[in-house]
Structure 1
Amino acid sequence: MPCSCGDWRRWIRPLVVVLYILLLMVVLPLCIWELQKSGVGTHNKAWFIAGIFVFMTIPISLWGILQHLVHYTQPELQKPIIRILWMVPIYSLDSWIALKYPSIAIYVDTCRECYEAYVIYNFMTFLLNYLENQYPSLVMMLEVQEQQKHLPPLCCCPPWPMGEVLLLRCKLGVLQYTVVRPVTTVIALICQLCGVYDEGNFSSANAWTYLVIFNNMSQLFAMYCL
C-alpha cells in the first residue's frame, strides 16, 4: 500500500537522515571552498573546526526532537521539552554564523536571546506540568508545608506564603525575564545602530555595561524563582 501522511512516524526519521546527508554533501564542499578561498588563517581554522562540531551537534539534537515527536505520548510534558531541545541547534548555528560574520553577530544574537527567554518560560511550564501530573493537589500540599524563608541575598525580604501565592510569585519571577530579555535585546540592537553599544567594553559611556548588568540581575532572579 502507498505510504500515507498518517504513517509519517515510519518514514520521518529516514527522511530526515537522508536530507541531512544531502545537506552535508552540499555544505561541506562549500566550507572547504570558502576555507581555501579566504586562506587558512587562525580565524578561518576556528570557523571550520566550529562548523564540524555544529554539524555533529545538530543531528543529535534533531534525533532527540524526532524521538519525542514519534513517541508523542505525553503532550503536556513533551511539548516544552521539544522547544527546549531546539535551543541547541539555534545556539550552535548562531555562534557559527557570528564567528564567520562578526558584523552581523548582534542581529543573529537578537534572535537567539529572544529564544533563550522563551526556553526559560518553557522550562517553567515543564516543571509545573510535571508537578501537577505527579501531585494533583500540589497547592494543598504546599499550604501544609512549613513556611520557608528566602535564601541569601534575599533573606531580608518577607517570605512568600506557601501554596498558591508561592507558585504565582515563582511564575511571575520567571516570566519577568521573558519580557526583560527581548526588550533589552531590542534596546541593544538600537544602541548598536546608534553607535553606543560595544560588547565586552565596561564603560560608563557604553550601553552594553548597563544592559548586561540589568540582564544578569533579571536572569539571576528568574533562576532563583525556578
Structure 2
Amino acid sequence: KVGIHTKAWFIAGIFLLMTIPISLWGILQHLVHYTQPELQKPIIRILWMVPIYSLDSWIALKYPNIAIYVDTCRECYEAYVIYNFMVFLSNYLTNRYPNLVLIIEAKDQQRHLPPLCCCPSWAMGEVLLFRCKLGVLQYTVVRPFTTIIALICELVGVYDEGNFSFNNAWTYLVILNNMSQLFAMYCLVLFYKVLREELNPIQPVGKFLCVKMVVFVSFWQAVLIALLVKVGVISEKHTWEWQSVEAVATGLQDFIICVEMFLAAIAHHYSFSYKPYVQEAEEGSCFDSFLAMWDISDIRADISEQVRNVGRTVLGQPRKMFFAEDHEQNEHTSLLSSSTQDPISDASSMPSSPMGHYQGFGHTVTPLTTPTTAPAVDGIYNTSAIRDAEESPELEHNLSEKALHKS
C-alpha cells in the first residue's frame, strides 16, 4: 500500500517536472541573448532560485533525515537572490542616470517608513544610496552565517527545528534571520520609493513581488507550520511515515514549496523576460555567456568592502566616498563600488563582457563601435530620454543648483 509520504513525494515530483523546464528555458534564452551583461547577469542568478528551491524541497521531502543539510543551499541562495535584485536595480540606474547621486539630492527629503518613522532620516544622496545597499548586503552575510550556526547546532543536538522554545537554538536563529530579512526588504522598499520614477521603465513592481513573495512566503510559511505544531493542530497522532511531528512539519513545508515554485516559475518567466534584450546584431557566444554567469568577483568585492567599512566605523575613521561619477560600470562592478579603486586598473584586471560595455538599457556597445546616442529599443528609451541624455551638462548644472539651494 502506498503511504501518504510517498504520494506527497510523487505529486511534488510532477510539479518539479513542470517547473524546471519553464525556468531553464528562461535562463537559456537570457544566455542566448546575452546583450546586456550588467542587467542579465543578476537576472539569471535570480531565475536560478526557482529550480534550486524546487529541487531542494523535493529531495528533502524524500529524505527527511538530510533535510537540514539540503535546506542549507536553499536558505543561502535566498539571501543571494535579494542581493542580486538590488544589483539589478543599481546597475540599471547607474548606467541610465550617470548623475544619480545629484538626482537624489535634488529630491525632497524622504522620511523613514513605518515602523522606523521615528528614526532620523537618511540624508538624500550618497548616504541614502549607500545605506540602502548596505542594508540589503547585510542579509547576504547574516543568512549564511546563521545557516552555518544551525548546522553546528544540529550536529550537537541543540537545534530542534520547528519547536518554539527558548531552550533551543532554532528559535533564536529564526528571530535573528527575521530581523535581518525584514531590514533588507525595508531598504529595498525605501530605495524604490525614492527612485520610483526613474525605475518605472523596467517595471520593478512585478519583479520585486516575485522576489519578495518567494522569499517571504517560504519563511513565514515555515513559521506558521511551526506554530501549528506548537498549538497541537499538527500532533503526534498523525505522523504517517515520518518519524516525528517536526518531520511532518518539515515535509509539509517542502511539499508546499514544490507546488508554489511552479507558480513562481510562470511569474518569473513574464517578470524577468528575455525579450527586451533580443538584439540579433549584438548576440555573442552562448558559452561565453554561460561562463560569465559564474563570475562572482562583484560579490567578493562587496563583502570585502563591507568589512572594510565596518572596520573604519569601529576605528572612528571617516568613510571613503562611494559611487564616483568617473568609475566605469560593467558586469564586474560591485554593489558598493568605491571611488578609492583605480578604474583603469579595475578595467584591465577583469575581462570585458562578451559584447563589450553596457551603455544603457536597450543598448550595448561592442568594442569596435562607439555610438553617440542610444537607439530606442522596445519603447524603453524614448525620444525624451535621448534628449535628456544630450542635454546632460545642463541637467547636471540644474540639479547642482537645486542641491545647493536645499542645503
Aligned partner of 1:46 in structure 2 is 8
Alignment partner for residue 203 of structure 1, among 148, 152, 165?
Answer: 165
Instruction: Give me the whole-angstrom Cα distance separating, in 1, the residues matched to 2:3 and 2:95.
Output: 54
Partners of 1:142 and 1:41 in 2: how far apart?
59
The residue identity in structure 2 corresponding to 1:190 is I
For residue 183 of structure 1, the aligned residue among 120, 142, 145 is 145
1:154, distance to aligned residue in structure 2 (A): 0.7
**Which aligned pairs between 1:1-226 and structure 2 lie closer than 5 A?**
39-226=1-188
Residue deviations 1:77-116, cap 9 Å, x none?
0000000000111000010011011110110111111111
Post-superposition shift, 1:131?
Answer: 1.5
* Residue identity opposite 1:168 in structure 2: F
- Please report the TM-score for the alignment, with normalisation by the length of structure 2: 0.46
Residue type at the aligned position of 2:176: F
Gaps of 5+ in 2: 189-407
- Give the 3-state SS of the residue equivalent to 1:150 in structure 2: coil
* CA distance in structure 2 between the partners assigned to 1:135 and 1:223 by the alignment: 24
Deviation at residue 191 of structure 1 after TM alignment: 0.5
- Aligned with 1:49: secondary structure? helix
Deviation at 1:136, TM superposition (A): 2.1
Secondary structure class of the residue paired with 1:216: helix
| Identity within the alignment, % | 85
Taking the aligned partners of 2:102 and 2:184, their CA distance within structure 1 comes to 24
SS where residue 113 of structure 1 aligns?
Answer: helix
Aligned mates of 2:113, 2:79 — CA distance in 1 = 24
- Deviations along 1:24-68, one digit per CA (max 9) or x if unpaired, are xxxxxxxxxxxxxxx511110000000010111001000000000
Shift of 1:70: 0.4
Partner in structure 1 of residue 301 of structure 2: none
Q: Shift of residue 220 of structure 1?
A: 0.2
Q: Deviations over 1:123-161 (max 9, x none)?
A: 110010112233221111000111111011111111000
TM-score by length of 1: 0.82
SS of 2:147's equivalent in the other structure is helix
Shift of 1:75: 0.6
Aligned AA (1:215): N
SS at match of 1:130: helix
CA distance in 1, matches of 2:116, 2:45: 31
In structure 1, how many angstroms separate the alpha carbons of the residues matched to 2:69 and 2:138? 23
Instruction: Give, as a single letter, the amino acid of the residue that structure 1 aligns with 2:58.
Output: W
Instruction: Return the letter of the residue paired with 1:147.
Output: Q
Distance 2:73 2:11 in 1: 24
Distance 1:121 1:90 in 2: 16
Aligned to 2:145, the other structure's residue is in SS state: helix
C-alpha separation in 2, matches of 1:68 and 1:133:
20
- Report deviation, 1:118: 1.2
Question: Is the partner of 1:213 in helix, strand or coil?
Answer: helix
Q: What is the distance in 2 between the residues matched to 1:69 and 1:203? A: 47
Amino acid at match of 2:57: S
Count of equivalent residues: 188
Equivalents in 1 of 2:166, 2:78: separation in Å? 27
Higher relative contact order (CA 8 A, sep 6+): 2
- Per the alignment, residue 16 of structure 1 pairs with none
